[in-house]
Amino acid sequence: MGLPAATRWQRNADSLLLCERNVARVTPLIELSLPALPGRRLLLKDESAHPTGSLKHRLARALLLQGIRSGAVGEGTPLFDASSGNTAIAEAWFAQLLRLPYFAVVPEGLSPGKQALIRQYGGELVVVPKGQCCKREAARLAARNSGYFLDQFTNAARAVDWRAHNVIVELFDQLHQQAIPDPDWFVMGAGTGGTATCAGRYFRNSNLETQLLVVDPEDSAFYNYHRHGCHPGGCLCASRVEGIGRPTVEPSFTASLVNRMSVIPDAASYGAARWLSAKLEQPVGVSTGCNLIGAVQLLATLQRGLVTTLICDDGRRYAGTLDDRSWLARQGLETSPWERALDTWHASGFWRPPVMDRELSATG
């Protein structure tokens, strides 16, 4: 038995998603000037410029196209997904475009700014208490309500085509248009692992020399898996760096495509996000801070070359956390030493991280 013919609604929805993709703006490439590091460049592709404010705009579109083309999503199908916020914001936006009900299963403690955006786009929130698994709950709710589980953690690397219409191809097109040579490194944190996998596949399949550094927050499972092959069980939802770092290795993360991994202290990611927001006069999120620390580590070891990374999301959605010194203090996140270290690095080219105990500075 083959797939039943697409309904009129499915064909219209498919066209609407492709139209949206065709008119989507190319996200900007921003250079952080490095006067103290001659011969070295750092370019950040600004994914916060999407209408839904994060890199997850592209993923949400791809997941919905996949669901529609598989025949599982049709008129009125309720959609469910587990998310630390950005995917849910983007999925809610697309669900609204297609007039589908959308339910975001999110961890307790999610930034109020992200919660507000999910609601603003018509999504409903299902908040899961700390220690319980959002993915399992999203799958359960979808099954119980004859809905569709978008399952970003499993489907990210399948739904996104590494050959076309993705952030990496767009980045390389921009570099080529500006006659900038291929980057030496691309730096990325892993949440689903989908963006890192897409990058790694593109580099390998295009026979490029560009290498992939994955930066991982404290207590995340990805580093140990890459380094030692261990695959911890359990399933908790939250990392202190929203969007990246997972207690289990997600199916979309492909360790064999990663050239190097680095564990970044959470205080460093928060400090770097604050520092970069001030430097660019544009608020960026915490995972972007994690990317920046990885890029700075690389630039400190290179004599010359180009490092690229992403601005993953808009820092305004972390109001009340990232911008609030008393919140940071309550979390035990001492960001000031990292901000000062970045000031020194930027002014002198000399990178001396404040605390990099053996565990947290692990690379390999």
Distances (CA, A) of 21 to 25, 164, 165: 9, 12, 8
CB of 4 to ligand PLP, least distance (A): 32
Radius of gyration of the chain, Cα coordinates, nearest whole angstrom: 20
The smaller minimum CB distance to ligand PLP, of residues 13 and 190, is found at 190
The token pair that represents 356 in the structure block: 């990099």
The smaller minimum CB distance to ligand PLP, of residues 47 and 137, is found at 47
Question: Applying CB under 6 A, which part among 172-180, 183-191, 275-283, 342-350 lies near ligand PLP?
Answer: 183-191
CB of 134 to ligand PLP, least distance (A): 12
The verdict on 285 binding ligand PLP (CB under 6 A) reads yes
Distance CA 295, CA 208 (A): 19
The verdict on 243 binding ligand PLP (CB under 6 A) reads yes
Interface of this chain with ligand PLP, residues 36 to 55, rule: CB under 6 A = 54
Question: Applying CB under 6 A, which part among 30-38, 80-88, 125-133, 227-235 lies near ligand PLP?
Answer: 80-88
Distance CA 124, CA 280 (A): 34
Distance CA 249, CA 96 (A): 31
The smaller minimum CB distance to ligand PLP, of residues 10 and 192, is found at 192
The token pair that represents 138 in the structure block: 């999203």
Q: Is the dihedral of CA 57, 60, 63, 65 positive or negative?
A: negative
Of positions 67, 193, 315, 353, contacts ligand PLP by CB under 6 A? 193
Give the CA angle between residues 323, 329, 331 to the nearest 5°: 95
Of positions 27, 48, 52, 86, contacts ligand PLP by CB under 6 A? 86
The verdict on 107 binding ligand PLP (CB under 6 A) reads no
The verdict on 194 binding ligand PLP (CB under 6 A) reads yes
Select the residue whose beta carbon is closest to ligand PLP and give its number. Answer: 243
SS3 state of residue 77:
coil
The verdict on 213 binding ligand PLP (CB under 6 A) reads no
The token pair that represents 296 in the structure block: 């700075």
- Report CA dihedral (246, 252, 254, 257) to the nearest 10 degrees: -110
The verdict on 17 binding ligand PLP (CB under 6 A) reads no
CB of 197 to ligand PLP, least distance (A): 8
The token pair that represents 160 in the structure block: 């996104």
How many residues of this chain interact with ligand PLP, rule: CB under 6 A? 20
The smaller minimum CB distance to ligand PLP, of residues 111 and 297, is found at 111
- What is the helix (H) or strand (E) element at residue 184, kind and residue range? none
- What is the helix (H) or strand (E) element at residue 75, kind and residue range? none
Q: Give Cβ neighbours of residue 279 (< 8 Å, ≥ 6 apart).
A: 32, 346
The verdict on 115 binding ligand PLP (CB under 6 A) reads no
Distance CA 177, CA 174 (A): 5
The verdict on 312 binding ligand PLP (CB under 6 A) reads yes
The smaller minimum CB distance to ligand PLP, of residues 13 and 95, is found at 95
SS3 state of residue 226:
helix
CB of 313 to ligand PLP, least distance (A): 4
CB of 37 to ligand PLP, least distance (A): 25
Question: Do strands 102-107 and 124-128 pair parallel, antiparallel, or not at all (unpaired)?
Answer: parallel
What x/- string results for residues 142 through 181 when contact with ligand PLP is judged by CB under 6 A? Answer: --------------x-------------------------
Distance CA 85, CA 107 (A): 9
Q: Is 182 exposed, middle or buried (0-12, 13-18, 19+ CB in 10 A)?
A: middle
CB of 310 to ligand PLP, least distance (A): 8
CB of 192 to ligand PLP, least distance (A): 3
The verdict on 183 binding ligand PLP (CB under 6 A) reads no
The token pair that represents 81 in the structure block: 């997904």
The verdict on 190 binding ligand PLP (CB under 6 A) reads yes
Which parts of this chain interact with ligand PLP (CB under 6 A)? Answer: 54, 56, 84, 86-87, 156, 189-196, 243-244, 285, 287, 312-313
